[in-house]
Amino acid sequence: MLEALRRGSQGIVVKILLAVLILSFAVWGIADVFTGFSRGSLAEVGEVQISEDDYQRAFQNELNALSYRAGRRITGEQARAFGLDAQVLNRLIGWAAVDTHADELNLALTNKAIAQGLQRDSAFHGPDGKYSPSAVDGVMRQLNLSEQGFINLRRKEELRRQITGSLAQSVVVPDAMIETLHAYSDETRVLSYIRIDPDKVVKIEPPDEAKLKQTYDANKAQFVTKPMRHLAVLLATLEGAKKRVSVSTQEAQKAYELEKASYDTPEKRRVQQIAFPDMAAAEAAKKLIEGGQSFTDAAKAAGAKESDIDLGLVTKAQLYDPKIREAAFALEKDKVSAPVEGRFTTVLLRVSDIEPGTHSTFDEVKMKVIDKLGTEKARVEMQKLHDAVEDGRAAGLPLKDIAAQNELTFIDVPATDADGNTPEGKPAMDNPMSRQIVASGFAGQVGFEQDPIEFPDGGIAWVDVVSIIPSKDQPFEDVKDEVKSLYEKNERERQLRERAEQLVKRLDGGETMQAVAADAGGANVETTPPVNRNTTPQGLSRAAIAQAFALRNGGAGSAETPDNSSRDVFQVKEIKPAPAATKEQKEQLTTELKTALENDTVSAYVSALKTRLGSSINQATFNRLRGIETP
């Protein structure tokens, strides 16, 4: 079947980023058929088993898609920290449930329907917007699938699309829902508020020993040491590798001769160009210039500004049109060329400035050549060192022994927190890449090897977790100053909160904002412009706005200030109902609500299937795949 599609698109040569294709597949789940498993069952949905291979293949492809979207390589540890592993497994379970339901309904698709779906799918289109068979071939290679395996995968995906798509199409957004949401989101309120002055309101008496100990006992979790890790680090640097290699004068001389031009400074010319629609127009302009017209006036007559004709100070290689390039670099300074018929246009050229190039000698650039060759050799040496370290790890050797065998740097980090500091608060490592090294250490577990870290400068680090040092309580006497600070902070917040509650009660009792302002420390009364639920006016916090929209007209409340330095006391002065929704607002709300309802409908459908069919996860296996130790 795919061969027929290839014949139909013969001659199309397209380069499509494979990551885009993976992204398309990742949206719908990459596992093709949940049948057979080589390393045990990870999850079950009804009679269907999801194997470890199914999960790992799906996770890797989702990781590739995520890296593509981020524009950089995302590690497995980073993805797991954001819960990607659980998302992938839940997706596989959900699609297994949908596949089972499709089988129960005896749904099927012909090969012809699958072929038509492939041709319509933009993920398999080239830059010309047409179906590209090379895209299909690329996906099959990436996923290591035969043609039949790929067709089976597409068949399941198309059935899932059709089932979930039909559910989504059945969603209708009621007018009442649109009106209710509009009334809710576009209602506005005007608030008046005062800010309590803590310097005038708060009075904190020095705490005695009993109060401090009471604060310590009630907040012991705040007075624990940070969790620490003992790390073993092996470093291989590009500079270190350069010291292992040598470059002879003969090698440098040979490399210089091969790349001599790269050590020269090329001639540069400031080139001006007037473009004409045809040769006749260019020849006519050339005659006018020969008759005394300036090059600039000729450009204006051709409809070009002076800034349009200046190509800048360029090297010969920077002019892409061969004929224009040769003509420009054959011209004398300030002379105008004969008409030059380039690839896309006919031009007149003038060179207004020439910067001569320089030619280097080997002796002048010898050290540059040696350094460049040394770097190239060092990169080869780095690969050898990488392989040697990996061989040592495969043999079960500790990093310290591997470092000694290969004369590499080994760093023992007895204790570091996640910020890279020792228990005393000093840097645990004197290395510019310590942040990445520590992050890798805190992403790993004791006894589990991690992928090496590759640094932008070409260096590599291997990190092992030797031991995990849990948090522990710090004695009261060691943290007495911190306890006192916490007591004062809590007391300050308590007094501010109590004063705010008193003022709110008085406002609710009928007093005016001006009347209670004196007991807030003489604060000025401020008034906001009309705000809606999504507006945060200057001076008030999001918590204040959320409270204000839960109050009646005239109701009062209080909330911490945006900088947490005090509390604001506010009152609803006016409630303005939402105006009638415009056509554009209704259309936008309809789109948003329909998308949300469609997602809810499909989620409810999949959830109901999982409940009816029954689903379970082998948590021990899942933990092992995620690198989590199971007690």
CA dist list (Å): 100 to 49, 92, 159: 11, 12, 11
Same-domain status, 417 and 515 = no
Number of domains in the chain: 4
Which residue spans within 268-324 are E strands per DSSP? 268-276, 310-315
Same-domain status, 17 and 71 = yes
259 assigned to some structural domain: no
313 assigned to some structural domain: yes
Same-domain status, 35 and 143 = yes
* CATH code assigned at 329: 3.10.50.40
459 assigned to some structural domain: yes
Same-domain status, 439 and 461 = yes
179 assigned to some structural domain: no
Which SS3 state, helix, strand or coil, does residue 462 take? strand
391 assigned to some structural domain: yes
- What integer pLDDT is reported at residue 563 of this predicted model? 92
588 assigned to some structural domain: no
The stretch 433-437 carries a mean pLDDT of 89
Residues 91-105: tens digit of each pLDDT: 999 999 999 998 898
464 assigned to some structural domain: yes
Instruction: Judge whether 369 and 255 are in contact, CB under 8 Å.
Output: yes
> Which residues neighbour 122 within 8 Å (Cβ) at sequence distance 6 or greater?
none
- What integer pLDDT is reported at residue 21 of this predicted model? 32
Residues 318-377: tens digit of each pLDDT: 888 889 999 999 999 999 999 999 877 899 999 999 999 988 889 889 999 999 999 999
As a whole number of angstroms, the distance between CA 347 and CA 311 comes to 13
Average pLDDT, the chain: 86
Residue 327 structural domain: 265-355
Burial of 112 by CB count in 10 Å (0-12 exposed, 13-18 middle, 19+ buried)? exposed
Q: In what order do the strands lie in the sheet with 41-45?
A: 48-51, 41-45, 615-617
Token pair 């080139």 is at which residue? 271
Three-state SS across 408-459?
CEEEEEEEECCCCECCCCCECCCCCCHHHHHHHHHHCCCCCCCCCEECCCCC
> Which residues neighbour 69 within 8 Å (Cβ) at sequence distance 6 or greater?
23
As a whole number of angstroms, the distance between CA 424 and CA 416 comes to 10
Residue 412 pLDDT more than 50?
A: yes
Token pair 């959320």 is at which residue? 546
CA dihedral defined by 548, 551, 554, 556, rounded to 10 degrees? Answer: -60
Tally: H helices and E strands in the chain:
25, 15
* CATH code assigned at 92: 1.10.4030.10
Domain boundary among 406, 439, 469: 469
> Which residues neighbour 336 within 8 Å (Cβ) at sequence distance 6 or greater?
286, 289, 295, 348, 349, 350
- pTM score of the predicted model: 0.54
As a whole number of angstroms, the distance between CA 587 and CA 581 comes to 10
Same-domain status, 424 and 488 = no
Higher confidence at residue 383 or residue 260?
A: 383
Residue 520 pLDDT more than 70?
A: yes
How many CB atoms are located within 10 Å of the residue 102 CB? Answer: 18
Same-domain status, 56 and 132 = yes
DSSP secondary structure code for residue 261 in this structure: G
